[in-house]
Structure 1
Amino acid sequence: MAQHQKTIQHHLALQILLADRLIKSTKELESSKFDFTDVTKLATQLAHLLRSTTRLVATCTTTLYDRPLRAVISHVSLNLERAETLVQKCKNRTGILRQVFAITTNTDVRKVSSLLESSVADMKWLVSIFVTDDNSGVNLSLPPIASNDPVLAWVWSNIATVQHSTRLKDRVDAANSLGSLACDTDRNKKMIIQEEGVTPLLRLLKEGASFESQIAAANTLYNLATDREKVSAFVRSLAVPVIVQVLIDSTNVLVRIKVVDLVSRLTEMDSCVQEEFGRENVMRPIVTFLGFDLVFDDYVTNSLVRVNSEIRNNGLHLSSSLSFHNRNDTELGSPEEIMKLKITCARALWILAKGSLLNSKKITETKALLCLAKLIQNENEELKLNCLMTIMELAKVGESNSELRRQAFKPNSPAARSVLDQILKIVNHETNPKLMVFAISTIGSLARTFPASETRILGPLVSKLEHEVFDISNETVVALTTFVNPENFNCVDHSKAIIEFNGVPCLMRFLWRNDDVKIQVNGLKLLSYLALHVGNNKALEEARVLSVIEDASRSMVMTQYPEMKEVLAKAMHHLNLYQAGHNVHKKVNGP
């Protein structure tokens, strides 16, 4: 900070020298033809204002917000140099030349005087936005430098107030004003960011002087973070560790809601920020907020205690304890505010987990799965939806990472069992199609974790093949395909179970009802895998599956899906083998 202030003081010192030199030069002019009285007076005012600004910078206890200062000083420098050039020209004009150019020079003097007058007004405005002990709040006057762009002056004034004002109310009002400007146009957002407004807002958020100041800062930052380019300014300002620390330290429910919303917004806009939040482990305070008032049954509690004990005995550490922040550490809000906080936290976890192995691991290392499973029982649809979306995203990441899948979704673990119980309740009893689709998708992603002995899952899934809501039946086909995919160790047992639950006729009716090519491909893939694993099953023969697959393999449409050629060919080979053998057996042993 000291070096920064010294650099600014150096620039100001140069301008003071220019102003003093101009004053001296104008006084040296002897000719009465050129009246530089106003120029001398204005140069003297500028020198005084420049010295006042230098003293202000020297006594500033925080990093000076210098964007308007640099812009104004640049203009002052140009105007002082122009005035000095004119004075030197007048000094060099003698004899007849002095008379010839008198009229023109007087016009130039008036122009220079006008420029210096503008510089004086700019400097007075500049000093006013940094002087914070007059209780005047934000300076809404318009300096000449911003006459063509009034918003620029307002942005400068408000940022300077947020950074330097000694009155908290003025800082809050200024932050809110920046938030309003940001909501008006995208240009305003860019201007606030370009004029370095993010850092003072983060400072206001971090200080935690009042919950009003933190909410004002968080709201404005949220309004600014509307695309990846803008969010990059947050990264440069080291926003992520600041935001995480604010969450850890915060006790006000409304502040938590706003800051968690900000986490979601930044994460949505930039995957690099998503990973940085993971490295700072923002998930821990968010999970704590999500479940601070939850009560778990004895089975879950005892199971976790046993697991933690076993892990400690092995010299390891598991962070999935049930300890939450004490309720006394929180300024309890209304039931509506508490519900809003939970909804916001569940949504943030969903966005943080999406496609991120790092974040998914950190989330599942906490008590998150238990909290999410517990909260899915809540009557609030939005909370239930966000919790389920989080579980679905965790399961999707686990589908492609065996380590996460084994650690987080081990079927006999308390967390995984709690999650599965709630998901099956949704599949069996829920009426909201969106919830059902997410639940079915989750089951599909976890297909490799289910043993062949798990009998609660496939029956309910098969029954959804004929659901009247297309999204549900299609998602069911996709989920069942993961159970019978050859890469699934239990694919044969799962295939037999699907057929036992009368899955083949249901699947055939699904194919007849839908003529969309992509949907047909999903259904044909499931049908082909069933044929590969249990091709000798009578249900496949009775449903004329071989004929359906043969027709599909000859379809020109299938040329769009070359990966299906091999699958269909293998299915036909198996069906021909078993069904041909069955037909020969009937002829030999027939009447």
Structure 2
Amino acid sequence: MAAPAPGEEKTLQDELSLPILFAERVIKLAQEAESSKQDCAELVKQVDRLAQMLRSTVRHASATQTLYERPVRRIVADVAKNLDRAITLVRKCKHSGVLRQVFSITTTADFRKVSSLLESSIGDMKWLLSIFDSDGTGLSLPPIASNDPILAWVWSYTATIQMGQPKDRAEAANSLASLASDNDRNKKMIVEEGGIGPLLKLLKEGSSAEAQIAAATALCNIATDRERVRFVVESHGVPVIVQVLGDSPARVQTSVAKLVALMAEMDPEAKEEFARENATRPLVSTLAMDTVMDDPKPQSGKTSIHSLVQINKELAKSDSVARNYHNISGSLGHSHSDGSSRGGGHYNRKEREWESETPEVKLEVKVSCAEALWKLSKESLGNSRKIAETKGLLCLAKIVEVEREELQLNCLMTVMEIAAVAESNPDLRRAAFKPSSPPAKAVLDQLLRVIQEGSSPTLQIPAIKAIGCLARTFPARESRIIGPLVVQLGGKNVEVAMETAVALGKFVCPENFNCLEHSKAILEFDGVSPLMKLLRNNDRAQMPGLVLLCYLALNVGNSKALEQARALYVLEGAARSVVAQYPGLRELFAKAIHHLTLYQAGAHPHRQPYAP
């Protein structure tokens, strides 16, 4: 038998054959012993029993295609070590005479010690064979794990998940999930002992929804840091997760969507792997279920949702998947990541399953899918682009309009993250947020509605951030946006006012081609007064407020509003402390103060000029 290459793991057959050869060697040497024959005979009985157990293990390993190898390798390696010690001891018994008599006491003690080790190996092998039984989970404690009972439980549960009967696998996965929830040490042990693969297999092939939910829950409890998430990815878990996400009942989708959200939040590389597998497609499809887009109510002065849907339906006519839904899911382009499309039978089944679900289950799965989209889209161009390509923005806009609480917030956060990615990517900004496109109009309508309603700062803040990120997409003639933002600049909620100052700063910064027109619009809506009030009353708002004031000074420094508000005095008073804290703003403050000085110097004859 050829030895494995350096660094290459031995095959299981190699691992098992070595202790069997050792056992045969012990028996042969014991038969040739010239001293301590009785002790050798007792040792032979133990070794013979071990040999039989090892051969039983070989038969089980040969007959089981899905063998869980980790405990087999650990225990068999320990057995081989103990048999090797037995060989060393029995070999000494071939000698007799004076030397043998001198060392007889030590030899007797050695026999007791080796016998104890072999007895422990027998206990380990007995336990190992028990986990092959189809009707048990092997919860007894093997001697090898006597100092760490968790190890035995991890082995037992994982073996049952890998090799057990269907009725036992879900229970074992739930037990493993419970262990993982206790502490990080248990999570690390589950990973090290090979628990991820069997859980992914159960998730993919589970015979019941309960088994798949148990597997997803266990993976959620384990993958709570980047390193363990990477292990799931490297175990080819992402394709399995995406497949289950698209094919499973709503209850399973809920658990799997939570797993996607967790992995995406923990590891950017996992997020991009999900993008490659097009994980956003099944998520958007599920969100679109029951999301009726035909809205007969006209929206005066705006593009109606009804008209958006009619346009969307026209776009969908060429889609290879024809569906008779009156919702956005008809335009999602239901295709696999390889571009192929499924037959109508699959969707009929999914529709029937969906219709049978309770409203509570439907809401729960949508909340989870929206959260997964939120986490996937954050700082991810690939996922953000795919959501936009599947008409996901229309779906998100409609849910923001009609839903409330967590589902509404998760969809709003998704829009915000896509907008944040689009801010630094002109191609995505033009493709997804082109002002004349139906999805962009629908999204803008809902962002403005949320901002203007003012019912919840938790909702207003992401809406304001999203509009700020899209500042460069709005033409100079767009008159609907600046007014609502100026109102929030003077609102009672400091966090909302701060975010509004940041957003308005993006409208009037030099990088925005229409900064002059937007600055004039802020003045027209009397934005200077609330800005100065914000600077006077809220220390936390100083930074974004002062930056906004600097941009206004550069763009419309000759305005009466800035002069009457003593903007020059305010900037000079804050300049030194701000620049000391933020050196990168030195040049901006210097330019703003210089620009205001050109128009307002006469108003402050005793002013000391600011020198950066």
Compute the TM-score of the two structures, normalised by the length of structure 1: 0.91
Alpha carbons 2:501, 2:544 under 8 Å: kept: yes
**Aligned residue among 298, 307, 328 for 1:299:** 307
Query: 1:309 deviation in Å?
Result: 7.8
Determine the structure 1 residue equivalent to 2:459: 435
68-77 vs 326-335, which deviates more?
Answer: 326-335
Query: 1:572 deviation in Å?
Result: 2.9
Does residue 183 of structure 2 align to residue 162 of structure 1?
no
**Aligned residue among 48, 55, 60 for 2:64:** 60
Does residue 498 of structure 2 align to residue 469 of structure 1?
no
Query: 1:323 deviation in Å?
Result: 5.9
**Aligned residue among 531, 549, 566 for 1:527:** 549
Does residue 249 of structure 2 align to residue 246 of structure 1?
no
Query: 1:28 deviation in Å?
Result: 2.1
104-113 vs 466-475, which deviates more?
Answer: 104-113
Query: 1:570 deviation in Å?
Result: 2.4
Alpha carbons 1:267, 1:351 under 8 Å: kept: yes
Determine the structure 1 residue equivalent to 2:570: 548
Query: 1:381 deviation in Å?
Result: 0.8
User: Alpha-carbon deviations, 1:230-270, whole Å to 9, x = none?
Assistant: 212112211111111111221x1110000000001111111
Determine the structure 1 residue equivalent to 2:44: 40
Query: 1:536 deviation in Å?
Result: 2.3
Does residue 130 of structure 2 align to residue 107 of structure 1?
no
The residue type paired with residue 101 of structure 1 is F
The residue type paired with residue 75 of structure 2 is V
User: Alpha-carbon deviations, 1:429-456, whole Å to 9, x = none?
Assistant: 1311111111111111111111122111
> Are residues 22 and 310 of structure 1, via their aligned partners in 2, closer, same or farther at CA, if it must alter by over 3 Å?
closer
Task: Give distance in 1, aligned partners of 2:309 and 2:458.
Answer: 31
Does residue 22 of structure 2 align to residue 18 of structure 1?
yes
Q: What's the secondary structure of 2:408's corresponding residue?
A: helix
1:371-410 equivalences in 2 (<5 Å)? 371-410=395-434
Determine the structure 1 residue equivalent to 2:331: 321
154-163 vs 558-567, which deviates more?
Answer: 558-567
325-334 vs 414-423, which deviates more?
Answer: 325-334
Q: What's the secondary structure of 2:331's corresponding residue?
A: coil
Query: 1:466 deviation in Å?
Result: 1.5
Determine the structure 2 residue equivalent to 1:330: 353
Task: Give distance in 2, aligned partners of 1:39 and 1:468.
Answer: 85
Query: 1:209 deviation in Å?
Result: 1.4
Query: 1:464 deviation in Å?
Result: 1.2
> Are residues 309 and 288 of structure 1, via their aligned partners in 2, closer, same or farther at CA, if it must alter by over 3 Å?
closer
Determine the structure 2 residue equivalent to 1:97: 99
User: Alpha-carbon deviations, 1:85-130, whole Å to 9, x = none?
Assistant: 11111211x2223333333322222222221111111111111112
Alpha carbons 1:34, 1:105 under 8 Å: kept: no
Q: What's the secondary structure of 1:412's corresponding residue?
A: coil
> Are residues 309 and 546 of structure 1, via their aligned partners in 2, closer, same or farther at CA, if it must alter by over 3 Å?
farther
Task: Give distance in 2, aligned partners of 1:560 and 1:453.
Answer: 37
Alpha carbons 1:257, 1:341 under 8 Å: kept: yes
Does residue 293 of structure 2 align to residue 281 of structure 1?
no
Alpha carbons 1:424, 1:457 under 8 Å: kept: yes
Work out the percentage of aligned pairs sharing the same amino acid. Answer: 56
Alpha carbons 2:333, 2:390 under 8 Å: kept: no
Does residue 558 of structure 2 align to residue 536 of structure 1?
yes
Q: What's the secondary structure of 2:11's corresponding residue?
A: helix
Query: 1:35 deviation in Å?
Result: 2.7
User: Alpha-carbon deviations, 1:160-183, whole Å to 9, x = none?
Assistant: 111112x10111111111111111
> Are residues 472 and 320 of structure 1, via their aligned partners in 2, closer, same or farther at CA, if it must alter by over 3 Å?
farther
1:328-367 equivalences in 2 (<5 Å)? 328=351, 330-331=353-354, 332-367=356-391
The residue type paired with residue 201 of structure 1 is L
> Are residues 46 and 310 of structure 1, via their aligned partners in 2, closer, same or farther at CA, if it must alter by over 3 Å?
closer
> Are residues 515 and 10 of structure 1, via their aligned partners in 2, closer, same or farther at CA, if it must alter by over 3 Å?
closer
Query: 1:51 deviation in Å?
Result: 1.0
Task: Give distance in 2, aligned partners of 1:283 and 1:510.
Answer: 41
> Are residues 78 and 367 of structure 1, via their aligned partners in 2, closer, same or farther at CA, if it must alter by over 3 Å?
same
1:153-192 equivalences in 2 (<5 Å)? 153-165=152-164, 167-192=165-190
Q: What's the secondary structure of 1:377's corresponding residue?
A: helix
Determine the structure 1 residue equivalent to 2:151: 152
Query: 1:558 deviation in Å?
Result: 2.3
Determine the structure 2 residue equivalent to 1:261: 258
Does residue 575 of structure 2 align to residue 573 of structure 1?
no
Task: Give distance in 1, aligned partners of 2:448 and 2:509.
Answer: 22
> Are residues 33 and 126 of structure 1, via their aligned partners in 2, closer, same or farther at CA, if it must alter by over 3 Å?
closer
Task: Give distance in 1, aligned partners of 2:42 and 2:76.
Answer: 21
Task: Give distance in 1, aligned partners of 2:243 and 2:37.
Answer: 68
Alpha carbons 1:428, 1:460 under 8 Å: kept: yes
Alpha carbons 2:15, 2:77 under 8 Å: kept: no
Alpha carbons 2:13, 2:58 under 8 Å: kept: yes
**Aligned residue among 115, 119, 122 for 2:121:** 119
Alpha carbons 1:372, 1:391 under 8 Å: kept: yes
Does residue 539 of structure 2 align to residue 515 of structure 1?
yes
Alpha carbons 1:182, 1:224 under 8 Å: kept: yes
Query: 1:415 deviation in Å?
Result: 0.8
Task: Give distance in 2, aligned partners of 1:311 and 1:494.
Answer: 41
Task: Give distance in 2, aligned partners of 1:33 and 1:126.
Answer: 31
Determine the structure 1 residue equivalent to 2:342: none
**Aligned residue among 491, 500, 505 for 2:524:** 500
Query: 1:579 deviation in Å?
Result: 4.2
Alpha carbons 1:481, 1:525 under 8 Å: kept: yes
Where does structure 2 lack aligned partners over 5 or more consecutive residues? 295-305, 321-328, 335-346, 605-612
> Are residues 234 and 322 of structure 1, via their aligned partners in 2, closer, same or farther at CA, if it must alter by over 3 Å?
closer
User: Alpha-carbon deviations, 1:335-370, whole Å to 9, x = none?
Assistant: 011011111111111100111111111111112111
Determine the structure 1 residue equivalent to 2:297: none
Does residue 209 of structure 2 align to residue 215 of structure 1?
no
388-397 vs 421-430, which deviates more?
Answer: 421-430
Alpha carbons 1:33, 1:102 under 8 Å: kept: no
Task: Give distance in 2, aligned partners of 1:107 and 1:439.
Answer: 79
Alpha carbons 2:137, 2:160 under 8 Å: kept: yes
Determine the structure 1 residue equivalent to 2:339: none
Task: Give distance in 2, aligned partners of 1:434 and 1:81.
Answer: 68
Task: Give distance in 1, aligned partners of 2:568 and 2:527.
Answer: 16
Task: Give distance in 2, aligned partners of 1:303 and 1:32.
Answer: 95
Alpha carbons 1:5, 1:57 under 8 Å: kept: no
> Are residues 204 and 278 of structure 1, via their aligned partners in 2, closer, same or farther at CA, if it must alter by over 3 Å?
same
Task: Give distance in 2, aligned partners of 1:564 and 1:40.
Answer: 84
The residue type paired with residue 24 of structure 2 is D
The residue type paired with residue 18 of structure 1 is F
Q: How many residue pairs end up in the alignment?
A: 565
Task: Give distance in 2, aligned partners of 1:372 and 1:356.
Answer: 17
Alpha carbons 2:396, 2:415 under 8 Å: kept: yes
Does residue 581 of structure 2 align to residue 560 of structure 1?
yes
Task: Give distance in 1, aligned partners of 2:37 and 2:551.
Answer: 103
Query: 1:379 deviation in Å?
Result: 4.2
Task: Give distance in 2, aligned partners of 1:71 and 1:156.
Answer: 11
Query: 1:75 deviation in Å?
Result: 1.3
User: Alpha-carbon deviations, 1:476-503, whole Å to 9, x = none?
Assistant: 1111111111111111111111101111
Q: What's the secondary structure of 1:486's corresponding residue?
A: coil
Task: Give distance in 1, aligned partners of 2:113 and 2:582.
Answer: 76
User: Alpha-carbon deviations, 1:169-201, whole Å to 9, x = none?
Assistant: 111111111111111121111111100100000
> Are residues 22 and 423 of structure 1, via their aligned partners in 2, closer, same or farther at CA, if it must alter by over 3 Å?
same
